[in-house]
Amino acid sequence: MKTIYLDNNATTQVAPEVLEEMLPYFYDLYGNPSSAHKFGGQIARKINNARDQVSSILGASPEEIIFTSCGSESDNTAIMSALNIEKEKMHIITSRVEHPAVKALCSHLSKKGYRITEIPVDREGRFDMDKYSESLTTDTAIVSLMWANNETGVIFPVEEAAQMAKDRGIIFHTDAVQAVGKIPINLKNSSIDMLSLSGHKLHAPKGIGVLYVRKGTKFSPFIIGGHQERGRRGGTENTAGIIGLGKACELAGNNVNVEKTRVKDLRDKLEKGILSVIPNSCVNGGEADRLPNTSNISFEFVEGEAILLLMDEFGVCASSGSACTSGSLQPSHVLRAMGVPFTMAHGSIRFSLSIYNTEEEIDFVLEKIPPIIERLRSFSPFWKKEARA
Amino acid sequence: MWEYSDKLKNHFLNPRNAGEIEDANAVGEVGSMACGDALKLMMKVDENGKIQDAKFQTFGCASAIASASALTEMLKGKTIEEAEKITNQDIADFLGGLPKEKMHCSVLGQQVLEQAISRYKGEAPKEQEGKIVCECFGVTDLEIEKAIKENKLTTIEEVTNYTKAGGGCESCHEVISKIIASVWAEVFPVIKPRLSNIQKIRMIEETIDREIRPSLQHDGGDIELIDVIGNRVLVAKRGTCAVCKASQQTLKNFVELKLRELVSPDLVVEEVPE
């Protein structure tokens, strides 16, 4: 059975060009970039090349790039660094819809005495700028806001928010794990101090991430060890991963236009096709500025995990914000923060596309989904009641 | 991704008995949309109390659908008396087991069956018994106690898996752990560790010093610990106690009670004559 992969916000396939670029560094070219000999030295040059590639997709300079092991490490490093620098400040601002890498860290920090303000979002998942503006205080050590939401694709006005933080002398970090490669980013003239990205969301492998730290931003390392990354992140480099990420960034830079045209067209086709055929369905965050690849659709009166598993029978991969999928008992914190009613939240499915998806795949999904929803609704006690009412 | 048994997958992909029975005479309905799962059970019971047909409607995940399907399969052909004996574990077993986080799906099955049978028998609808512990999912202390007893649950996580209680805002976690403790205390009363003789004597001395002597001295009396032989605590009366007529009562009703409560329940206090 063919796999139709519409779960690219969870992870992506490694691009063939990326894999090809990486392979020699697992076997033939296994040297340590820190070594004095030429065998190792050639790896160091390759890593510098990757650093150039990564910095250019961000509009940054190479020395502003720190390679890490993943997006979560980058997020943790950024926030803990700011708290170490601003030792006397005890306030952190974030949003109610952050990824667990930020959200769980903040709730951990709240137990250690930090005050956390989670800025709310509206019904479409849009950031509340007024609340944000009122929350910036002299005690605020850092603002950490995601650039784009992993579940809905809703984009936050991070550059504007960063400027407001800068005007008040507050460090600003953004988790841009879902944004990089999908929308154009240029940090050159922005006020963003730190930015996290993750390799496996843009067709590089898992286990490689980046923390961008603007030149002049005070920084305190998270992993203390060797002199790697100019003493800002100890630990022998993940050479193959770094080289793969460099290539992936180069490709993503070239493909950003494909994202906003072809990928977006496919996403829109999927969305319109579903909404026009299936009653009581809606797009969560559909009115907001969104990533071109993401669609979060709720099917009222049915449960998400059941939908996912029935789709899985046809090889269609997606994810759900329902409680049962995650193993928690509440639907996703993102949908709850948006005030999506329970009737809708439990039946939410996230489709996230990539440049590798085709029109045939979307057509196939559009053919399979309506009978799945119909079938589950046929024995849902609420569907019948609602239909009668 | 959950690890589901083949049988569970089969019942999810091909649910048996999904639908409605127009002339059902035993119907139960539990859960709600907010909770994330809901189940309606309909049975047609004949004049001999035998279940002729059973169907369900459900809103829920794969294991909720499979549990409902399994329950209806188990019910068909059984008498009401037999059906009453079905437990949530039976439903899980029928499906070749459920992931532990999904046990509440089988509990939902048992609850709906209980409700359908009691309505069939014409029993007055049960008022909400007990008091709500988990506000998020509307779970009462009695439901939690029942799940703990029947499934031998020991942790909050397990209670959540079986009843959903505590799976939301988590503010009831403290109450749940108290319920767990009290249920287990009923089954296994707390026993104090066996004391060595030296520990026992030391504790008796301490208890007399701390808990007993201050009260006696308040009335100008006192006692002195002379010896401890087995469970016999030998004391001598001092001060006003030595001449007080009521002092024998004090030894039994106060000194001995205190020592039994705080040291060991088998102690006997005896007075040694001067």
B171 to chain A, closest Cα gap in Å:
14
Residues in chain B closer than 8 A to A324 (CB atoms)? 36-37, 60-64, 102
A346 to chain B, closest Cα gap in Å:
6
Interface with chain B: mutation pick from A107, A305, A374, highest number of B CBs within 10 Å: A305
The DSSP call for residue B242 is G
Contact A302/B59, CB-based, under 8 Å?
yes
- pTM to 2 decimals? 0.81
Q: In what order do the strands lie in the sheet with A281-283?
A: A281-283, A294-299, A348-352, A319-320
* A325 has pLDDT over 70: no
pLDDT at B230: 85
* B127 has pLDDT over 70: no
The third-level CATH classification (topology) of the domain covering A16-252 is: Aspartate Aminotransferase; domain 2 (3.40.640)
What would the CATH number be for the domain defined by B1-125? 3.90.1010.10
* A36 has pLDDT over 90: yes
Question: Shortest CB distance from B61 goes to which of A301, A306, A378?
Answer: A306
* A389 has pLDDT over 60: no
Burial B90-106 (b: 16+ CB within 10 A, else e): ebbebbebbbebbbbbb
The third-level CATH classification (topology) of the domain covering A4-10+256-376 is: Aspartate Aminotransferase, domain 1 (3.90.1150)
B183 to chain A, closest Cα gap in Å:
24
pLDDT at A64: 98
What would the CATH number be for the domain defined by B197-271? 3.30.300.130
In whole angstroms, give the CA distance from residue B131 to residue B137. Answer: 13
Residues in chain B closer than 8 A to A302 (CB atoms)? 59
Dihedral angle sign, alpha carbons of residues B154, B157, B162, B163: positive
| % residues pLDDT > 90 (chain B) | 46
pLDDT at B91: 95
Summarize pLDDT for A119-154 with one digit per residue, the tens: 999 999 999 999 999 999 999 999 999 999 999 999
* A342 has pLDDT over 70: yes
Question: Shortest CB distance from A309 goes to which of B12, B36, B137?
Answer: B12
pLDDT at B191: 64
A309 to chain B, closest Cα gap in Å:
8
**Does any CB of chain B come closer than 8 Å to the CB of residue A348?**
no
Contact B36/A322, CB-based, under 8 Å?
yes
A235 to chain B, closest Cα gap in Å:
33
Over chain A, what HEC string results? CCCEECECCCCCCCCHHHHHHHHHHCCCCCCCCCCCCHHHHHHHHHHHHHHHHHHHHHCCCHHHEEEECCHHHHHHHHHHHHHHHCCCCCEEEEECCCCHHHHHHHHHHHHCCCEEEEECECCCCCECHHHHHHHCCCCEEEEEEECECCCCCEECCHHHHHHHHHHCCCEEEEECCCCECCECCCCCCCCCCEEEEEHHHCCCCCCCEEEEECCCCCCCCCCCCCCHHHHCCCCCCCHHHHHHHHHHHHHHHHHHHHHHHHHHHHHHHHHHHHHHHCCCEEECCCCCCECCCEEEEEECCCCHHHHHHHHHCCCEECEECCHHHHCCCCCCHHHHHCCCCHHHHCCEEEEECCCCCCHHHHHHHHHHHHHHHHHHHHCCHHHHHHHHC
Residues in chain A closer than 8 A to B18 (CB atoms)? 378-379
In whole angstroms, give the CA distance from residue A334 to residue A321. Answer: 8
* B2 has pLDDT over 80: no
Summarize pLDDT for B14-27 with one digit per residue, the tens: 999 999 999 999 99
The reply to whether domains A4-10+256-376 and A16-252 share a CATH topology is: no
Summarize pLDDT for B234-256 with one digit per residue, the tens: 999 888 877 777 888 888 888 99
Backbone Cα Rg of chain B: 29
**Does any CB of chain A come closer than 8 Å to the CB of residue B64?**
yes
Question: Shortest CB distance from A379 goes to which of B15, B63, B160?
Answer: B15
* A386 has pLDDT over 80: no
pLDDT at A207: 98
Summarize pLDDT for B192-219 with one digit per residue, the tens: 667 788 888 998 999 999 989 888 888 8
**Does any CB of chain B come closer than 8 Å to the CB of residue A378?**
yes
From residue A223, alpha-carbon distances to A69, A103, A199, A234, A237 in Å are 11, 21, 19, 6, 13
Half-sphere exposure of A210 (CA within 13 A, CB side): 36
Cβ atoms within 10 Å of A341's Cβ, excluding its own: 12
Question: Shortest CB distance from A329 goes to which of B2, B15, B137?
Answer: B137
Residue ranges of domains in chain B: 1-125, 127-190, 197-271
Question: Shortest CB distance from A329 goes to which of B19, B36, B65?
Answer: B36
What would the mean pLDDT of B264-272 be, rounded to a whole number?
88
pLDDT at B171: 85
Tell me the backbone φ, ψ of residue B225, rounded to 5 degrees.
-80, 120
Summarize pLDDT for B26-65 with one digit per residue, the tens: 999 998 877 778 999 999 999 999 999 999 999 999 999 9
Name every residue whose Cβ is closer than 8 Å to that of residue A275 and which is 6 or more positions away in sequence.
A281, A282, A283, A297
**Does any CB of chain B come closer than 8 Å to the CB of residue A343?**
yes
Of the candidates A372, A272, A279, the residue with the CA atom closest to the CA atom of residue A318: A372
Question: Shortest CB distance from B18 goes to which of A305, A328, A379?
Answer: A379
What would the mean pLDDT of A321-333 be, rounded to a whole number?
74
pLDDT at B122: 86
What would the mean pLDDT of A56-80 be, rounded to a whole number?
98
What would the mean pLDDT of B254-262 be, rounded to a whole number?
89
Summarize pLDDT for B142-192 with one digit per residue, the tens: 999 999 988 888 888 889 889 989 888 888 998 998 999 888 888 777 666
Tell me the backbone φ, ψ of residue A251, rounded to 5 degrees.
-65, -45
Contact A303/B13, CB-based, under 8 Å?
no
Q: Output B137-145 pairs: Cβ under 8 A, ≥24 positions apart.
A: B137/A329, B137/B35, B137/B163, B137/B164, B137/B165, B137/B167, B137/B168, B138/B32, B138/B35, B139/B163, B139/B164, B139/B165, B141/B175, B141/B179, B144/B176, B144/B179, B145/B179, B145/B183
Cβ contact A284:A297 at 8 Å: yes
Confidence band for A387, pLDDT divided at 50, 70 and 90? low
Summarize pLDDT for A263-297 with one digit per residue, the tens: 999 999 999 999 999 999 999 999 999 999 999 99
**Does any CB of chain B come closer than 8 Å to the CB of residue A330?**
yes
**Does any CB of chain A come closer than 8 Å to the CB of residue B136?**
yes
Q: Which of 3.90.550.10, 1.10.3720.10, 1.10.10.1100, 2.170.190.11 is the CATH number of B127-190?
A: 1.10.10.1100
Question: pLDDT: is A356 or A387 the higher one?
Answer: A356
Residue ranges of domains in chain A: 4-10+256-376, 16-252
pLDDT at A227: 92
Q: List the catalytic residues of A.
A: 324
B98 to chain A, closest Cα gap in Å:
13
* B125 has pLDDT over 70: no
Summarize pLDDT for A196-245 with one digit per residue, the tens: 999 999 999 999 999 999 999 999 999 999 999 999 999 999 999 999 99
- Nearest-CA residue of chain B relative to A309? B62
Residues in chain A closer than 8 A to B65 (CB atoms)? 306, 379
Q: Strands A194-198 and A209-213, how do they pair?
A: antiparallel
- ipTM > 0.90 for the complex: no
Count of pairs with CB atoms under 8 A, one residue in A, one in B: 79
The structure tokens 């939908």 sit at A307
Q: Strands B232-239 and B268-271, how do they pair?
A: parallel
What would the mean pLDDT of B67-79 be, rounded to a whole number?
96
Q: List the catalytic residues of B.
A: 35, 105
pLDDT at B215: 86
